[in-house]
Structure formats: C-alpha cells, structure tokens
Amino acid sequence: MAGQPYLDLPPARVARGTVALPGSKSISNRVLLLAALAQGTTRIQGLLASDDTRVMLDGLAKLGVPLEPQDDGTLVVRGVGRFPERQAELFLGNAGTAFRSMTAALALMGGQYRLSGVPRMHERPIGDLVQALRDLGAQIDYLGNPGYPPLAIGPMGRLAERAVQVQGNVSSQFLTALLMAAPLALAGTARPLVIEVAGELISKPYIEITLNLMARFGVTVRREGWQRFVVPAGSAYVAPGLIQVEGDASSASYFLALGAIGGGPVRVTGAGADSIQGDIAFADTLQAMGARIERGPDWIQASGVRVAEGGRLAAFDADFNLIPDAAMTAAALALYADGPCRLRNIGSWRVKETDRIHAMQTELAKLGAQVESGADWLRVTPPAPGAWRDAHIGTWDDHRMAMCFSLAAFGPAAVRILDPGCVAKTFPDYFDVYAGLVHGPDTAARSTQASP
C-alpha cells in the first residue's frame, strides 16, 4: 500500500471515558428514504455525517427531494411521495443500505434510472432483489455481470397479483428494500402486498429496525414469523414531524471493547437498553467474555481486565448471525482470550465491503494469531506469549477492519493501520475519538504519509 496514508498506534494500556456516539448508519439511511417518500415534512436530528449518508443525500437531491440543513444540525426533508425527477444517473458508492433500498424504490416507482457504485459494489450480489422486483412487474437490466450492479431501471409494468418471494440467506437488505418500497407499488390498489422469505432469514434485527421505522412513518407491516410479511392495502408514508436518530450500536462495539480490555470504565451515550438496533446485544457478548456491563435507557458502560498487564478475556464459541457487524469486534478481541475462539454463522461477511472472513483471517495472522476459516465460520487462537509480531494492518477499503484493529494496540506488538481514512464511510473522526479514550506511554497517534 505504498503511497497511501497510515496511522501508527502507540502502545495502549488503559481506556476510560465517555463517547457520544455518531448517528446510526442503518437508521440514518432508512429515515432519509422514508422521509423523502412521505407526505409532509420531517425534521431529522442526529443524522450520521459519513460517506454512506452523503451518497444517499446526493441521490435524493438528484431525484428532486428538497433537503434543508439547519444551523443546529437538524435536516429538514420535505417529502415528495414520488420522486419528481423521472430520469437520473445515481452513484451510490459502496453503501449497501443506499443501493439496495434505492433500487427497489425506483423500480416500483417507474422511470428511467441508472445506478452504479465503486468497483466493490459491483462485486456485491443483488440478483435476489432484482428477481423479486422483476416478479412484481419491475423492469431492471444489468449493465455488467448478471446478478450484480450497475443497473438500469425502466418503467414499472402492471403489479403482479401474487405474493413475491425473496431469498433471505444472502443479505437482509434485500427484504428491507422490498418492505420500504412496497407502499409505492400499492398506490391505487385495493389489496395488500405479501412478501415471502425463501430459506433462512439472516440478520433479523435489521428487519426489526426497518419495521419499527416504517411504523413511525405510518405503515404497520404484519409479520407472520420470519417467513411472511404483509404490507396493508392503501399504505402510504406520512411524515412523523420530528425524528431522532439513535447513536450507532455497531460503532459502540469498539468503545465497549476498549472498556473490556483497557480496564475502563468506558461509557457510550446515544444508544442503550431502549435501542431498536440489534447490535446493542454485543454488550451481552462482552459480558459473557468477563466484562462488567451497566445499562441505562440511552447508555451502556463497560469495564474489564487490563490485557496489557496480563489480564485475559474468556474464550467463546458463539453464533453471530444476529449481529454480524459487531461480530468483527469480537474477532479482534479473540487476540486477548484465554483460549481459541470460534465465530459461527457469519457467511454474510463474504459479501460485505470486502470478504471479511478472508480479510480478518489475513490480518489477525499478521499479528501472530493462528486462524482457520470456512464458508461461514472463523476460528482464532490468540498469539502465545512471545509470539506476537509487529504488523502493518491492511484495511481492505473496509471501515470496520480499520476500527476493529485499533484494539490490537493493547498487545505487545507495534501496529500500523494502513489507509485509516476508510473510516469515513461511517465514522470519519473515529481515530480522534479513540485517542481521547486510550492512555499509554505515548497517547498521541501519529499520522503520516507512507514513502513510495
């Protein structure tokens, strides 16, 4: 990675402090689309400022949605119901929440649209969603490899009268996209839209977020188990007036982990016991590893051992299907466990910003861990005393890789994070916040430019 920026992390010993979490990415992009599709005006507070929300905002602006930033950080969205611009080319970066949900909304609305992203987005599958939309009557063509973006969307045909099926075992974002776009297809009809899930639905908590937010905008979906969802006839979004975006529970995992390995206490605010996000359950994972967890309605606090002084976390063997993003933090914590750790049911990692199973195995091994993997699992044996190795950690253009491996600074090896700027996808000032919590012989991380 010659010629790219890097960050040398100073040796870390102790972590303590309080962090006000940035807004949830999952909630932010859902709320932006729902507010745009609603009748009336929505004032959004706590919206995440990041690459993923920027591409969603850029896309909505191109489609004719009035967006009015306020001096206090609130965003006013004047809902349009249906996008005024009937032709547009949208670039949606590597934001899966934006690409999948926008694909469904535009396809069921009809018009002439082209959607593209970064090269990695063109490697992330979307065929199951496209097939479901085609079954409903949408016109979508692949502009590159079948089953993958970029896409061309044409006029909507007659809405199919049967239930539509979507695969559930690749990405929950496919079902989320169909659910959020469904009211567009129901305009002028007198019947509900039934969505059936084929196979096992992964990442169910993200569907809970979707259903919760749709209800706040006036559309209550009837869920029959996890296999059948009924969107009522006549459904239409209505602006709730004011909506507050919760702090990001996935981002909370890194700071709670700091408390677990750096003594703590570390408290995160903005998401807590009342959160609608599934990743808030990562606190339970930490508790099972030996951390002390305290909770309030909108905060969580973690305290634990000091691994730099020989403390160890309890090893784990766990199913992480429900919290795949926070599971990456658990994989990094395996470096400090008292035995081998196994992460199961994480097959969705393969189709994220990078192949996270391969990337995590590669980078953990650089530090001296013994790592094995399969199609949907990872097994990490922590480095033995004296076996740690200095490492330049590749981040694979994946924000979560960079944030997870900041935890490696508590080990005895020198750690350099390559391309730390990739955190801009969801948390642009992550390393500044991290530096304010971590204490050691040298508390100032050094950012510089690598020599060619």
Domain regions of the chain by residue span: 5-22+247-449, 25-230
Per DSSP bridges, beta strands 193-198 and 228-231 are antiparallel
pLDDT tens-digit readout, 159-199:
988 899 999 999 999 999 999 999 999 987 889 999 999 99
pLDDT tens-digit readout, 9-25:
999 999 999 999 999 99
Q: What is the pTM of this model?
A: 0.93
Domains 5-22+247-449 and 25-230 share a fold: yes
Spans of the chain below 50 pLDDT: 1-3, 443-452
Residues annotated as catalytic are 325
Per DSSP bridges, beta strands 228-231 and 222-224 are antiparallel
Q: Which pLDDT score, from 0 to 100, does residue 2 have?
A: 32
Q: Which pLDDT score, from 0 to 100, does residue 4 have?
A: 54
Q: Which CATH superfamily includes the segment(s) 25-230?
A: Enolpyruvate transferase domain (3.65.10.10)
- Asked if the 5-22+247-449 domain carries CATH number 3.30.1330.10, the reply is no
